[in-house]
């Protein structure tokens, strides 16, 4: 399970759409949702019935953790 990142103060929190999540992670849409279902990627925030966003700090923390894991560093 991915814990919510507490990297950025609330006043600088930024929501990003799926297109930007895909650009930052290079994952496909289906892979992003597969990893969310498996608890291995940050969950989206629903702003409305058809409006999903992610918290940028959580996605960036996930990316940094992947880099650290591949390089054998402590995350």
pLDDT digits (tens, 9 = 90+) for 27-58: 999 999 999 999 999 999 999 999 999 999 99
Q: What percent of the chain has pLDDT over 70?
A: 83
Cα-based angle 12, 14, 16 (whole degrees, multiple of 5) = 170
Distance CA 75, CA 55 (A): 19
Q: What local confidence, expressed as pLDDT, does residue 12 receive?
A: 76
pLDDT of residue 62: 97
Q: Please tell me the predicted confidence (pLDDT) of residue 38.
A: 98
pLDDT > 90: percent of the chain: 76
Whether the pTM exceeds 0.75: the reply is yes
Q: Name the CATH topology of 14-70.
A: Recoverin; domain 1 (1.10.238)
All structural domains of the chain with their residue ranges: 14-70
Query: Nearest-CA neighbor of 20 among 47, 46, 58, 49?
Result: 58
On the 0-12 / 13-18 / 19+ scale of CB atoms within 10 A, 65 is middle
């Amino acid at each position: 399970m991915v814990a919510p990142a507490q990297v950025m103060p609330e006043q600088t929190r930024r929501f990003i759409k799926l297109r930007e999540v895909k650009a930052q992670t290079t994952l496909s849409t289906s892979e992003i949702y597969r990893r969310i279902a498996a608890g291995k990627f940050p969950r989206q925030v629903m702003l409305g019935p058809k409006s999903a966003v992610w918290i940028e700090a959580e996605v960036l923390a996930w990316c940094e953790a992947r880099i650290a894991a591949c390089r054998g560093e402590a995350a």
